């Protein structure tokens, strides 16, 4: 049975769901508070690196228009600075890819609006506005993907899956013009935080996302309230020059891709109940960050959004009751979401001794380096050893 669906939010989760639902024969309106032109001209919304499993979903449905342009990331390099420094570079199972969302989302928004059964609605996204729009459209189903503000507050937190009530890191991000490279890099630098560089495709060609995740209250926690990309870049380079010279040398000569290419903020990972109601009593189904938000450090946000959206569309049937919609989320959680959340918590916490043994082995053994790199691609597989010291020791014993 085809449904009339209102999707609130035009991010990774909302647009993936909308386009897959349109291809499945449903009628879809995507409501957003910014036009495609505003998204393209605005600041980055996040940085992300999509691993091969989520890229496979997009490519199977014709949503990846950048494979022949975007840098294909084949390796993940990592370093730990401090008293016991180590570094490794591991091969991914298949190439990853990152596209500036200011390029990607306007293109996909246009595809929704151009589809015979699709529509893009630009306007306020408050609770009352969404309730009124759903009534006017006579929507069978309202899917909310916008995780902040009034709508996000409608979804009660599931405390058993949400160990933190405050951000674990303060974030700063800039996009820098660069040549094509094939390696994403991460460096952990105690007591400051982590530094990431991610090859990506921007509106002006190849670029690199530079992100600092600063320990809250630590020496690098100096980005709060800064919105000017020039100031963000200068402050980030200053910190790296003093505390992480290797990372500084990698990016010091790279200019901003554009005048708006910067972002600062913080994320609180959370899991929420997937079904709630609007004031009118209409059911709302949560998708993406609004019900399962991860720390960017885990590299799972955009990937989880794609997997959840595809799972939701595949499970759509005649029954749109709260128990049925909840069961669909629960099935996603068991299949993918729980492992992704566990992986995120493990990555943001101090490394356990058995994980440090794998990191030490990765310096000498390409197999161990690949195991670490591919943990981002398949958090479900990663947690089979990250959550088990005995399984980790078995894997390490098999290294040649």
Q: Tell which CATH classification among 3.30.9.40, 3.40.630.30, 3.20.20.150, 3.40.50.300 matches the domain 167-266.
A: 3.30.9.40
CATH assignment of 4-48+99-163+268-347, among 3.40.50.1460, 3.40.50.300, 3.10.100.10, 3.50.50.60: 3.50.50.60
Q: What's the mean pLDDT in 28-42?
A: 98
Give the 3-state DSSP-derived string for the chain, with helices as H, strands as E and coil as C.
CCCEEEEECCCHHHHHHHHHHHHCCCEEEEEECCCHHHHHHCCCCCCCCECHHHHHHHHHCCCCCCCCCCCCEEEEEEEECCCCCEEEEEEEEEEEECECHHHHHHHHHHHHHHCCCEEEEECCCCHHHHHHHHHHHCCCEEEECCCCHHHHHCCCECHHHCCCCCCCEEEEEEEEECCCCCEEEEEEECCCEEEEEEEEEECCEEEEEEEEEEECCCCCCCCCCCCCHHHHHHHHHHHHHHHCHHHHHHHCCCCECCCCCEEEEECCCEEECCEEECCCCCEEEECHHHCEECCHHHCCHHHHHHHHHHHHHHHCCCCCCHHHHHHHHHHHHHHHHHHHHHHHHHHHCCCCHHHHHHHHHHHHCHHHHHHHHHHHHCHHHHHHHHCCHHHHHHHHHCCC
The pLDDT of 101-106, averaged and rounded, is: 98
137 pLDDT exceeds 90?
Answer: yes
Cα–Cα distance for residue pair 117/113, rounded to 1 Å? 8
Nearest C-alpha neighbor of 304 from the set 51, 21, 99, 62: 51
Question: pLDDT confidence of 163, banded at 50, 70, 90?
Answer: confident
Cα 176 to Cα 100, 201, 211, 260: the distances in Å are 11, 11, 11, 11
- Residue 141 near residue 134, CB atoms below 8 Å: no
- Lowest-confidence segment of 43-47, 112-116, 277-281, 293-297 by average pLDDT: 293-297
* pLDDT at position 161 over 90: no
Give the pLDDT confidence score for residue 118 in this predicted structure.
99
Q: How many CB atoms lie within 10 A of CB 239?
A: 23
What percentage of the chain carries pLDDT values higher than 70?
100
**pLDDT score for 400:** 60
Average pLDDT for the chain: 94
Q: What is the pLDDT of residues 312-363, one digit of tens each?
A: 999 999 999 999 999 999 999 999 999 998 898 888 778 888 988 989 889 9
Residue 151 in this model has a pLDDT that exceeds 80 = yes
Q: Is the omega angle on the peptide bond into residue 358 within 30 degrees of 0, that is, cis?
A: no
* Sheet with strand 205-215: strands edge to edge: 86-96, 73-80, 183-189, 193-202, 205-215, 169-177, 262-266
The tokens describing 355, both together, are 């994980």
Q: Which band of pLDDT confidence, cut at 50, 70 and 90, is reported for residue 235?
A: very high
For range 100-109, the mean pLDDT: 99
Classify strands 27-32 and 4-8 as parallel, antiparallel or unpaired: parallel
212 — pLDDT class (breaks 50, 70, 90): very high
pLDDT at 170: 94
Q: Provide the pLDDT for residue 148.
A: 76
Domain spans, the chain: 4-48+99-163+268-347, 167-266, 351-397
pTM (global) more than 0.85: yes
Among 250, 246, 104, 251, residue whose Cα is nearest residue 174: 251
Query: What is the rounded CA–CA span in Å between residue 136 and residue 54?
Result: 34
Q: How far apart are CA 198 and CA 332, in angstroms?
A: 28
Q: What angle do CA 292, 297, 302 make, to 5 degrees?
A: 50
Give the model confidence (pLDDT) of 14-27 as tens digits: 999 999 999 999 99
């Amino acid at each position: 049975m085809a449904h009339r669906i209102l999707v609130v939010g035009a991010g990774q989760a909302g647009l993936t769901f909308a386009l897959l639902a349109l291809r499945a024969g449903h009628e879809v309106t995507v409501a957003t508070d910014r036009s495609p032109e505003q998204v393209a001209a605005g600041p980055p919304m996040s940085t992300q690196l999509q691993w091969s499993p989520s890229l496979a979903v997009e490519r199977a449905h014709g949503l990846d228009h950048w494979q022949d342009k975007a840098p294909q990331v084949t390796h993940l390099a990592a370093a730990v600075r401090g008293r016991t420094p180590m570094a490794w570079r591991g091969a991914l199972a298949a190439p990853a890819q990152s596209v500036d969302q200011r390029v990607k989302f306007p293109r996909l928004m246009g595809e929704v609006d151009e589809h015979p059964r699709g529509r893009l609605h630009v306007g306020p996204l408050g609770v009352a506005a969404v309730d009124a729009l759903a009534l006017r459209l006579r929507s069978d189903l309202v899917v909310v993907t916008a995780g902040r503000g009034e709508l996000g507050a409608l979804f009660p937190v599931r405390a058993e899956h949400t160990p933190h009530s405050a951000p674990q890191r303060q974030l700063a991000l800039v996009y820098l013009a660069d040549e094509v490279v094939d390696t994403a890099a991460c460096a952990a630098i105690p007591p400051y935080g982590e530094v990431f560089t991610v090859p990506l495709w921007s509106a002006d060609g190849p670029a690199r996302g530079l992100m600092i995740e600063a320990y809250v209250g630590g020496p690098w926690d100096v980005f709060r309230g800064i919105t000017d990309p020039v100031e963000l870049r200068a402050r980030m380079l200053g910190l790296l020059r003093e505390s992480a010279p290797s990372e500084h040398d990698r990016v010091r000569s790279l200019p901003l891709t554009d005048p708006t290419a910067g972002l600062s903020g913080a994320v609180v990972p959370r899991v929420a109940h997937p079904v709630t109601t609007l004031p009118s009593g209409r059911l709302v189904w949560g998708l993406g960050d609004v019900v399962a938000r991860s720390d960017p450090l885990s590299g799972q946000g955009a990937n989880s959004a794609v997997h959840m959206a595809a799972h939701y569309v595949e499970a759509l049937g005649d029954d749109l009751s709260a128990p049925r919609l909840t069961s669909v989320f629960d099935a996603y959680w068991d299949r993918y979401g729980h492992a992704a959340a566990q992986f995120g918590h493990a990555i943001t916490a101090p490394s356990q001794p058995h994980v440090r043994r794998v990191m030490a082995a990765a310096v000498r053994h390409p197999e161990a380096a690949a195991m670490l790199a591919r943990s981002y691609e398949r958090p479900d597989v990663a947690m089979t050893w990250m959550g088990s010291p005995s399984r980790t020791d078995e894997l390490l014993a098999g290294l040649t």
